[in-house]
Every structure is written in C-alpha cells, then in structure tokens.
Structure 1
Amino acid sequence: MIYWVTESITTSVRLYAENFSKENRTLQLEGVPIEVPTALALFKNEFYYTPPSLVAERYKNVLQLSDIPDGGHFAAMEVPQMLADDIWQAVEKIHRYRRYIYRE
C-alpha cells in the first residue's frame, strides 16, 4: 500500500522485472557458485522458496541454513522475533568463522 500511495510502485517491482527478464536469464548467473561465507533463512511462505538441496549446489560456504516454519516475503513484519533470532545466530557463526580463518 505504501508503494501505491507514494506513487513509487515502479521501484518496488524493478528488482523482479530485472531478475526475471529474458536478458538476465540468458546470463545464466544462477549457475555461478557463491563462495563467500553465507547464512540463509528459508521462510515457509516465501513466494520463491529454494529447497536446501538447491541451496547447496549454489552456495559453497554455508555457515547457517535455517528452514523457518512460518513467515514469508515480509518476514520482518510476519515473524519478527524468529527473523531477529536467526540473524543473531548467523552473526555469531560468522564471527566464529572469521576468528577461525584469521586466527584472531
């Protein structure tokens, strides 16, 4: 609703228009592996849910993969405590990983 009343709906759908365009699909970016330390939260009601098996194919250094049993595209409003808890857990794992790699 905020996008409509502020007349900014175009900016809200730009990400989807660009990511799902024919030009973007021909780049085949989804096949490029991501090797940086990664934490992912998969929300049950997200409109674009990625199964953990596909996550493993793309993300090569997953420090945390949370399959959240509720929430969706607007998880911060739908399940704020679940999202916050998951973020804090991910931050802790990233800090531990960093200390391990850099021997801090």
Structure 2
Amino acid sequence: MVQQAHLDAAFSAVADPTRRQILVRLAEGPAAVSELAAPFGMSVTGMAKHVHVLEQAGLVVTEKVGRARQCRLGEERLEDAMAWISFYQRLWERRFDGLEAYFTLRGGTETKGDDA
C-alpha cells in the first residue's frame, strides 16, 4: 500500500487552489518561479513557498538556472494519490453493485399487493 506520509503530503499540496494551478501551468512545460508568480500577482517569495510545498510532496522539481529557480513537474505525478482513490472507488463500486443486486432480487420477489 501507499506510504501514508507521502500520501498526506500529496493531498495537502493539492488542497490549495494556487498549487493546483501551478501544476496545471507546469503541465505545459517548465517555468521560473517568477513566471509562475506573475498571473497570481504574487511575490516571488510567496510563490516560492507554494513551490516548496509541491516539491516536498514530490510533485515539482526545481533547479537553479543562473539567478532563477526553474520548476518542472516531478516524477510522482500523483500516482500514489490516484492508487489510493482507485482502491476506494473499486470498493464503493462493489458495494453499490451488491446493493443494486439486492434491490433487483428483492424487487422481483415482491407482488403488487404487498404494499397495501
């Protein structure tokens, strides 16, 4: 199963709408922290804090290029979070399938006069 601390970091990182938008932007290609900050009207220092959270979660990788810090998507790309979500999705689908089968079976055994 997925390491809990890594999963917690990933979900915590993507809980913030600004960080989700950073991931959307980085899906288009690498960008400097200053480029990421501009659309938000945010200081480079403020953006660097968001980037750091994403980096700690393994979702973003940064590298010093000259005087700027270049960011790109990390290798993790939320696989652990997706595996966790998929596990529970399959669990609930099985439960709903069982519930549907129960009601289908039960509906076929009732007669119209039973509800009076």
Structure with the bigger RCO (C-alpha within 8 Å, sep 6+) is 2
TM-score (norm 2): 0.27
TM-score (norm 1): 0.30
